[in-house]
Structure 1
Amino acid sequence: MQLDLDGLVARHPAAQPGSPAALRGLDLKVEAGEQLAVIGPSGAGKTSLLQVLACAMQPAAGRLRLGGQDPWALGQAARQALRGRLFLAPQVPPLPPRQRVVTSVLAARLPALSLLRSLRALFYPDDIPGAHAALECFDLGDKLFERVDRLSGGERQRVGLARALLAPASLWLIDEPLSALDPTRALQAMATLTGTARTRGVTLVATLHQVDVALAHFPRIVGLREGRLAFDLPAAQVDAACLARLYAQHEHELRGSAPAGLPEPAPLAPQPVVMHCR
């Protein structure tokens, strides 16, 4: 799915009047089947960008086109059909705690099912082998019939990612998919998502705090800062100077994730210990 953003401005519905917009005049074009990682310090607008692309947040100004269509110019039924072609994986997946993992994973297919089949699928999973295969890609095949509330945080995050493999979507929007994963699981998840998206021709937009993972797995890197586009470059051209400017005053977010060559921030001076006697 092709994405076109032209001068896009977005504000959170719950934002205080007069507060800065989450996205400020953003221009971005993504061709169908492209893969890009969005990086930047906390509060840069990364999650807001995914919410706008998922049609969960309406732009306040500017233009948004998904697959050549303005979603907010469509009728409700047409916009809902368009949303069925999008898959958003939040950082914390909204999985019902008492639900079985197999049901949670197969729920990704609901946009393509009739109402009757959707209701039946909640009680009688109709593609157990498909769910198992998706979970196996994230090393979770043995959790197929576990209840969600018995999973660890990392396992729940991987269940949320496994849903992408079953979704009838041409655009994957993945928000901080590695926050609860150890390094080995993180690399496995990234390889699965990028490899599957490439094979299927799915457009993939992922937000990441792990700069080194973004540079290693994505050919295109978009840097956001304070809701504005800081840079849009091939991964090979994102150097230490680019990252230093992007994360200025937020250097601590780069520790442990920046590529070699970026200077470490100066250590804090030791503070005196004050003893209080009573």
Structure 2
Amino acid sequence: PDLRRIDEPFIRLEIERAAIIGLVVLGALISLLIRRLRLAGPVVAGLLIAFWLPWPNLRLLMQPAYPTSYQVSETGYSSGSIVQGLAILRRHCTSACFRPNDDPSDLTPYGVWRRPDGDLFWWLGTTFDRIGHSPFPHGTIATLASRERWQLIDYLRARAAGTMAKRTGHWPSAVLPPDLQLRCDGRATELRALRGQVVVLTIGRSELSEAGAVPAGIPLRYVHLNRDSEAAAGRFRSDCTTDDPDAWTAYAIVAGIEPEQLDGAIFVIDANGWLRAWRSGDAASETRPDLFAQQVKLAIEQPFAADDIGSHRH
């Protein structure tokens, strides 16, 4: 079952057609209980369905199933997994990778964020790896261990998110933030454990006061990321801190920038756990100074639904 497009008008029309046929069939069944209609009821219902009522195209509410369709990633879409995926890509990539145009290591055109985990796992190994515009020599992905393939998927998703952010300044579709190891009030936890709260992630030299686009009075959870614990200790007022060694690289990837440009950046994660806004630490690179404020407001007032990217979940 695939109900992601259920709100589109042509999908609603197919559902209405199915409902009408269902009512006709129900009427035929009820007529069997009435002696005078036992013959006429089913005959009329059959004629209506066969010659008058349009048959719904229920295939629009389905998607192909594969042996791995119900598998879920074992990596948790962590920063470490994304960085490992980048290492796998660099280890196997052809000379065509990372070129300015037509880069086969950027799978944004394939909608990797719209594909459920298991379907993407199967598609990469059985279709893209054999006949697609793969960044590897054909057949390479099939030789990877299961966990390596999941790590590669995490990187490819982060890379696609970065491409969207680089082009538009925000993420137009639902994108997960890379998971982090945090220290909150002296206790070890993970970023995903903060779901249910709006999270502001400040990075490096960014100060909490720089998140001025966040409306006053909104309960927020502030997380500060620095490259090492000594730099983070005592310098920034925040609810949680992290010096996750891979986080700096992972968040640069999802923002579509180089790691050196990440210092001073701010990210906003809505209450359902989706990345919604980010602002570079380089003020000179701001092309839409009002865009960050707009995206923060939307993140607070209109969090993405939990199933906005189908069955992909962690």
Structure holding more strand per residue = 1
Same fold (TM over 0.5): no
Larger RCO, structures 1/2 (Cα 8 Å, 6+ apart): 1
Bigger CA radius of gyration: 2
Q: What TM-score, normalized to structure 2?
A: 0.23
